[in-house]
Structure 1
């Protein structure tokens, strides 16, 4: 069955974190605790990030507690983001919440049981009999992996209307008791945000193709979370940009072959911008002209790395400026995440 995109919406929480102010406060909080801070401090300026948004105000980061405090912030902030993104997506699709049959929720930055779509049920007005499909642990690849799962569910249920919501509150992983290099990089890059998409078999001008994925052996330590009394602590291996440079081309070519595409047919890559070095590595690996991933850099600069939803901020802007409609050629959305893994989705003019 053919699956179509009806709407895409994005949103961020209310607390703005200008990068200059983040750098100043990080120097005050982390500088005395981490002897390598001064060596990493220039990355605040070279990261490509100028603004981010958080579910917590600046003062929270100075007094952030352990699991209880952090997860309470996640539950409140992620639920608000879910409702905001979902409400916008439904309005743009011309749907009401009680017309949705399947709810797919992607989030890996906190623990919600019952899950976020249940937390938001009353406020949204979802039906009692909705199929709920929460996905956890996919990290930055969660947006595209979630879209692939949502697309398969929509294809298997021809009469269903499906809502995919992707929510992450990465800033809540801020660490001051155990500052490591990865924690400093996270402080430089991480942000919060959400995206929502509506899908069904009812024809629109954007078609979602069957996706593909790749997980490499012996790469578990490259990216993920460590868990301790304070909550979730990021794992970023320094090898990520080099790994992307050496591996992404073959992964993309294999994915395209599996999806029945020649990479030469693709009008534009739509990528999750994990960081400035990763964007550079993607252009190198995929033989793209330098600067071709301009929207990815713009989103990174304006919003930071929000993990799973970020690629949809990129996709939304590319669709708004008419790249696909103008060329008549498909887009290839992709993202990298823990595993170490890559996920791909082809997006066609309807």
Structure 2
């Protein structure tokens, strides 16, 4: 069945990770140091943390809090989180965000521009995405200053929408391209999730917070999108990768009923606190397929017409739930599981990392790509890509 016409083209993708990284075993030590009390009294809690860290499917994570050339044991490599009742204040955490978010975003955006073969001076709109920090002037202004974007570039920010926010950003970028077919849009997502590690003095009863601590990491990703009237800088010189990466065909969103407390993201005195309840995968199993049928039907498609499923790796349980809901073979989401193991959950940039990996292996003739993310609400966001 034919796909709907594209509203814009994704020309290039760029990604960036902090140079410093730490393996999951070491981060489990960090959690033990910022959780149960020392000595025999806290030993059951530390064992619980170690078990949960092994189960989340992450092997290593890149963190801005780790010096890339640091040596020694894990506590010396992540000195930001000292033993105590709650950890650094929100102000202290945001100060680190302001220091590190913009340089990481600039690296990803520069890579996307190179990949697309687009000069920074041609960008007409900049869409930024982040939910792990606030600063103004911030990432949007840094992109202009450091990359040489036009000072007249339009700026739009998508904030505090969680793991699916890059898909919201794609919707915004596509709307800008539809409004102005000559538009050249730079979408940049950056998250420093490690800044919001929450202390867990009672991990035996707070497993959801331990899992959230175990999953999230830092990273940035960017995409260059163009409208229908885009003309390459040099029509005779092909871009570094291909004429286009994906075609944006449409988007969808749904707020699932009676799931408001299943996943939350709130600002506290000691950072931003994420809660993940067991109800999240069960809600996905119950509701995702019916909504997907309805949404795809708007484009004259069914689930069988989808060639590639790009599901945000929010965690093993979420991926298992998506496999069950969409009646997929388990291996269909292996790229998502592999990405989770390699870098952890980066929140909003993660789906762009996944699309970057999938473009090398997907079979265009097999059908469109459906990218899916989940966020607080509980909400589902999806993009249809050709």
Q: TM-score range by the shorter chain?
A: over 0.9
1:59-87 Cα shifts (integer Å, max 9, x gaps): 22237521221001111221111100001
Q: How far apart in 1 are the matches of 2:286 and 2:121? A: 47
1:106 and 2:129 aligned? yes
CA contact (8 A) 1:270 1:332 kept: yes
Residue 161 (structure 2) pairs with residue 138 (structure 1): yes
Q: Which residue of 2 aligns with 1:247?
A: 287
User: Superposed, which structure 2 residues align to 1:184-223 within 5 Å?
Assistant: 184-201=210-227, 202=230, 204-205=243-244, 206-223=246-263
Deviation at 1:36, TM superposition (A): 4.2
1:315-349: CA deviation from partner (whole Å, max 9, x where unpaired): 1111022x133x3421111111112111111111x
Q: Which has the higher mean CA deviation after the structures are superposed, 83-92 or 177-186?
A: 177-186
- The alignment's TM-score, normalised by the length of structure 2, stands at 0.85
Q: 1:54 to 1:135 in 2, by over 3 A?
A: same
2:91 counterpart of 1:51: no
User: Would the aligned equivalents of 1:104 and 1:133 in 2 still touch at CA under 8 Å?
Assistant: yes
Q: 1:166, 1:196 within 8 Å by CA — same for their partners in 2?
A: yes
**Quick check: 1:82 aligned with 2:97?**
no
Q: CA deviation at 1:143?
A: 1.5
Deviations 1:2-57 (A, max 9, x none): 31110011111122021011112322332328774433431211211001111112
Moved more, 130-139 or 255-264: 255-264
8 Å Cα contact 1:141-1:338 kept in structure 2: no
- Paired residue for 1:295? 335
Deviations 1:154-208 (A, max 9, x none): 1111111000001111111112277643331122111111110000123844311
Specify the SS of the correspondent of 2:359: helix
The structure 1 residue matched to 2:266, chosen from 215, 218, 226, is: 226
Report deviation, 1:147: 1.1
- 1:241-283 deviations in Å (ceiling 9; x for gaps): 1111111111211221233322211101111010011111110
Indicate the SS of the match to 2:80.
helix
State yes or no: 1:39 paired with 2:48.
Answer: yes
Distance 2:160 2:259 in 1: 15
Counterpart selection for 1:22 from 27, 33, 36: 27
Is there any run of 5+ residues in structure 2 with no aligned partner, and where?
1-5, 67-77, 232-242
TM-score of the aligned structures, taking structure 1 as reference length: 0.93
| SS of 1:248 mapped into structure 2 | helix
2:256–2:287 Cα contact (<8 Å) kept: no
- Matches of 2:92 and 2:314 in 1, distance apart? 27
Larger radius of gyration: 2
CA RMSD of aligned residues (A): 1.9
After TM superposition, give the deviation of residue 128 of structure 1 in Å.
1.5
On the 8 A contact 1:255/1:344 being kept in 2, the answer is no
Aligned counterpart, 1:341: 379
CA distance in 2, matches of 1:128, 1:166: 20
Gaps of 5+ in 1: none
